[in-house]
Every structure is written in C-alpha cells, then in structure tokens.
C-alpha cells in the first residue's frame, strides 16, 4: 500500500473536514448528561442574571421609598426631628447593640444625638455622630448618604433662618448656584448597572467549549486514540480544521443559547425594574452575535493549542485555566484602571469585545472598524492556532508521550 505523501498530508480536503466535524459533534453530543448540563446552564444564565438584577434594583427602590433612618436619642434634638418629619422621613430607634451589628454588616448607618444637643444647638454649634462601616458590602450604603444629606439640609435651613433673623438674606450663603444638565441617556445609565451582561457573555463563550477543546486534544492523547487517528491516510490539516470547527460549533451554539435566554427573559418574563432601564432591539442582539460568534472559535482554537501540550485531560485543564484566568481578568483590570474607550483596545482580545458590547448596550454609535478589527484579530488567532496544531500533530513527542 502506498503511503500518503507529505504534500497530500498537508492538503485541504473539504470532505475530510466535514467527516471529522460530523464525527466529533456526534461523539460529544452522545454524552447527553454533560451536553445537557452545558446547554441548560447556558440558557439559564440570562434569566438568572436579569432576575437577580431586577430584585436588586427593587430592593434599593423599596428602601428609598420607605425613607427610614435610624437615629439614637432623637428626643434630644426636637429641631432635627421636626425637619425630618417635614421631609417625610420615618425615624426609627436603632438596636441597643447597633455598633457591633454595623461592624458585622447587619445594621444600617445610625445617627447618634448627644444628650446636650439642644443646649449646644441654641448657643452655637452642636455635634452629632454618624456610625457606619463602609467596608461592609452587605450593609446598606444608601443609608449613609441619606443621613448625610438630611444633616446637610438641616444645616442649610438653620443657617438661612439665623441670617434672616439678623436681617441678612439667606441667599448670601449661595455664591454660585448649580444648574445641572444630565447628558446621560437611560440606556447609558442601564449599561452602568448591567455591565455584567457583556462580561458574562464573554466568560460563557470561553468556558462553554473548554471541555470539548481539551477532550479533542489531550483527551484523545490520554486515551491513546490519537495515534490511530493520525495513521489514517487523511490530510492532517483537514483533520485539525474539522476538530476546530466542531469546537467552534459547540461554542457558538452555547453563545446563541445564552442570547436566546436573555431575549426570552426580557420578552416574556415580567421584569418591570429591568424593562424600565434597558430594552434590547434586534439590532443590538445582532451586534452581540457579530462580536461573540467569531470570539468563541478563536478562543476555542487557542484552548486546543494549549491543551495539546497536556499529557492528560487534567494536566491540560490546568494549562487552559491559566488562559481563562488571564483573559477573563483583562476587562476587570481595565475597569479598575478606569480606561477610556480607545482604538487600541480593539486589538486586545476580550478587551475589544468588552468595549464594543458595552457600547452596544449603551446604544452608542459604532463604526465598521469596531467590528472589523476584533474580527481580524480573532481570525489571526484561529489561523495561528490551527497552523501550530498542525505542526505539533506531526511531532512524536506530542503524539506518543503520555507520561
């Protein structure tokens, strides 16, 4: 029997690509338990995030509507109590051990009135104590701002009254008056709150095809099925492309399911708090798809390349987790660094996608380069990874070394 020549082994064969693609998809879909878990979780992510955000917004608004504040010894400050009553605030007595509870994040901020408040207030200046812990995320940070604004408003009112009593206009305290013009649109304010959606869709795109990418490379190497596969008289590059396309289809399917989950939740589930701040149009869903669908195959090819160096599934999983950590933290680092949108970010995988997805969510103007540059980077990553994979699959140390 004639052995295939080197040129034949490196020649593209579309029939081979399709055969490998069909085989890999069929094999991985046979594991119904794993496939079902991945697909169901992809669909469920959107509803869970949106429902959680809706309840979060509702809890904030409900607390603001109650207009409740905790003040200790309010009886010693009748003037302040009168001001709060006129502002429709409900004054509540804090628990006796409120300082300890605030330190544990189990109590809102408390305004403490000293016993000599009235005496000092009449003669001049009185002090009050605002007790809070701003390091506790589970405590209501909103109550801190409310109490501060109440005391500031009371100060302005009393100062104005004291000046009027002396025959001086209270306007003398306001040398400059601010006329506010908020240029932010409702969509932009919603994007500030729902920034987690672009980040989450990208993360799901990375993790969705991770197991498949590892199994097609390190998994076959560990099982010993890689050698007989490469012994077949087929084009090696066609085999690699077929495997990569299977990973790409898997990842893109997960992305589409994720977007379908977001669409179904916003369309059919009653989320008035979310619907009041964000509504995604068909064009926005299309923009999400255009950005995410090329991203997933590119990351999948990189995962396959890295996993090829693993001698077992577990070892390859460790290697790929390094990629996941680095890529997923790029937008987080950019957020903490307070980077402004810039063209160079489009050339950075994950960061460019995050920037464009956020702009889509904010309803801002996008140009062709916002889509073409990330697409070109994704194609370059996929081409590089497939080329390197083809070369690695011709090395004995990669194919035969399993220990």
Q: What is the mean pLDDT of each run of 10 residues along the chain (403 residues)?
A: 48 81 82 74 78 71 72 90 88 89 85 89 84 68 80 86 78 67 57 69 84 86 77 82 91 88 80 63 87 92 91 88 86 78 89 88 86 95 93 76 55
Dihedral angle computed from the Cα positions of residues 92, 93, 94 and 95, in that order, rounded to the nearest 10 degrees: -130
Question: Which segments of 146-249 are extended strands (E)?
Answer: none
Distance CA 26, CA 375 (A): 28
Q: What pLDDT, on the 0 to 100 scale, is given for residue 275?
A: 58
* CA atoms within 13 Å, Cβ hemisphere of 196: 10
State how beta strands 110-112 and 129-131 pair.
Answer: antiparallel
Long-range CB pairs of 325-332 (<8 Å, 24+ gap) are 327/206, 327/299, 328/202, 328/203, 328/206, 330/354, 331/199, 331/202
Q: What are phi and psi of 92, to 5 degrees?
A: -120, 145
Taking a C-beta distance cutoff of 8 angstroms, is the pair 13, 238 a contact? Answer: yes
pTM of the model: 0.69
Distance CA 218, CA 211 (A): 10
The candidate with the shortest Cα–Cα distance to 279, out of 298, 294, 265, 299, is 265
Distance CA 145, CA 50 (A): 27
Partners of 156 in the β-ladder = none
Distance CA 88, CA 91 (A): 9
Q: What pLDDT, on the 0 to 100 scale, is given for residue 383?
A: 95
The 8-class DSSP code of residue 218 comes to I
Residue 230 to residues 16, 192, 303, 389: CA-CA distances in angstroms? 13, 50, 20, 13
Distance CA 399, CA 82 (A): 82
Q: What are phi and psi of 229, to 5 degrees?
A: -65, -40
Distance CA 393, CA 56 (A): 51
Query: How many Cβ atoms sit within 10 Å of the Cβ of residue 110?
Result: 23
Q: What pLDDT, on the 0 to 100 scale, is given for residue 1?
A: 37
Distance CA 274, CA 267 (A): 11
Catalogue all structural domains in the chain, each as residue range(s) with its CATH number. Answer: 8-53+194-399 (no CATH), 65-176 (3.40.190)
Sorted by sequence, the CB contacts under 8 Å of residue 220 that are 6+ apart come out as: 226, 229
Residue 344 to residues 219, 379, 403: CA-CA distances in angstroms? 37, 17, 43
Using a 10 angstrom Cβ sphere, with 0-12 exposed, 13-18 middle and 19 or more buried, the burial of residue 69 is buried
Q: What pLDDT, on the 0 to 100 scale, is given for residue 273?
A: 61
């Amino acid at each position: 029997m004639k052995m295939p020549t080197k040129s034949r082994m490196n020649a593209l064969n579309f029939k081979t690509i399709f055969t490998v693609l069909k085989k890999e998809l069929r094999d991985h879909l046979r594991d119904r338990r794993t496939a079902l878990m991945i697909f169901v979780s992809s669909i469920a992510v959107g509803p869970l995030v949106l429902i959680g955000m809706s309840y979060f917004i509702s809890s904030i608004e409900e607390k603001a509507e109650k207009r409740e504040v905790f003040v200790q010894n309010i009886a010693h400050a009748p003037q302040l109590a009168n001001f709060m009553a006129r502002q429709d605030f409900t004054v509540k007595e804090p628990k006796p051990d409120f300082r300890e509870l605030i330190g544990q994040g189990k109590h809102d901020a408390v305004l403490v009135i000293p016993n000599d408040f009235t005496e000092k207030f009449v003669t001049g200046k009185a002090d009050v104590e605002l007790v809070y812990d701003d390091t506790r995320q589970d405590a209501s940070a909103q109550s801190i701002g409310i109490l501060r604004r109440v005391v500031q408003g009371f100060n302005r009112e009393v100062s104005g009254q004291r000046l009027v009593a002396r025959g001086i206009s209270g306007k003398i305290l306001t040398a400059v008056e601010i006329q506010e013009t908020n240029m932010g649109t409702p969509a932009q304010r919603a994007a500030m709150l729902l920034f987690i959606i672009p980040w989450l869709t990208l993360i799901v795109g990375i993790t969705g095809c991770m197991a498949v990418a590892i199994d097609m490379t390190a998994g076959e190497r560990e099982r010993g099925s890689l050698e007989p596969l490469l012994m077949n008289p087929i084009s090696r590059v066609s085999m690699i492309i077929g495997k990569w396309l299977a990973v790409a289809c898997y990842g893109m399917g997960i992305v589409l399911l994720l977007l379908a989950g977001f669409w179904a939740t916003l369309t059919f589930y009653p989320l008035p708090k979310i619907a009041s701040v964000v509504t995604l149009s068909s064009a926005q869903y299309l923009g999400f798809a255009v950005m995410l669908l090329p991203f997933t195959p590119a990351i999948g090819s990189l995962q396959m390349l890295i996993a090829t160096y693993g001698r077992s599934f577990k070892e390859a999983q460790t290697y790929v987790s390094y990629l996941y950590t680095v890529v997923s933290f790029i937008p987080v680092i950019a957020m903490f660094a307070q980077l402004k949108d810039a063209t160079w970010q489009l050339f950075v995988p994950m960061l460019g996608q995050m920037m464009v997805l956020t702009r889509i969510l904010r309803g801002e103007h996008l140009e062709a380069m916002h889509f073409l540059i990330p697409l070109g980077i994704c194609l370059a990553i996929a081409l590089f990874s497939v080329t390197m994979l083809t070369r690695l699959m011709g090395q004995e140390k990669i194919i035969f070394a399993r220990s």
